[in-house]
Amino acid sequence: MTQAAKSVYYFAFYLYLTGITLIFIPNVFLSTLGLPETNEVWIRVVGILALAIGFYYHQTAIQNNTAFFKLTVIVRSLVLVAFVLLVLLKLASPILIGIGLIDFIGAMWTRMALKKN
């Protein structure tokens, strides 16, 4: 497995963990981040989506799909930009920037690995 594939592969497990947590114990996740707890279904829907996206990341890493890797660098970077905008517009808690930074750091790891190949 290439270094770029490994970066995406490990990110898949971050998504799996996030998805499973949001599906089964969403309020633990939310309270850990200092966000208000909820009993609404939307948080579990987000968990299901994170789990599904994790599956895409996992499979494309195994297949060494460099086109997908390049796309994730762009999209994961834009996630941080979008989260910063939500915070600046006072629509979200600043903790969201921390979550976006995880995406961005993963994206930069993938980008550097792609450049080495």
* Phi–psi pair at 91, nearest 5 degrees: -100, -10
What's the pLDDT at 67?
Answer: 98
CA angle 110, 70, 49 (to 5 degrees): 85
Predicted TM-score (pTM) of the model is 0.90
Residue written as token pair 């770029």: 4
- Residue 32 confidence class, pLDDT cut points 50, 70, 90: confident
- Say yes or no to pLDDT of 42 above 90: yes
Q: What is the pLDDT of residues 69-86, one digit of tens each?
A: 999 999 999 999 999 999
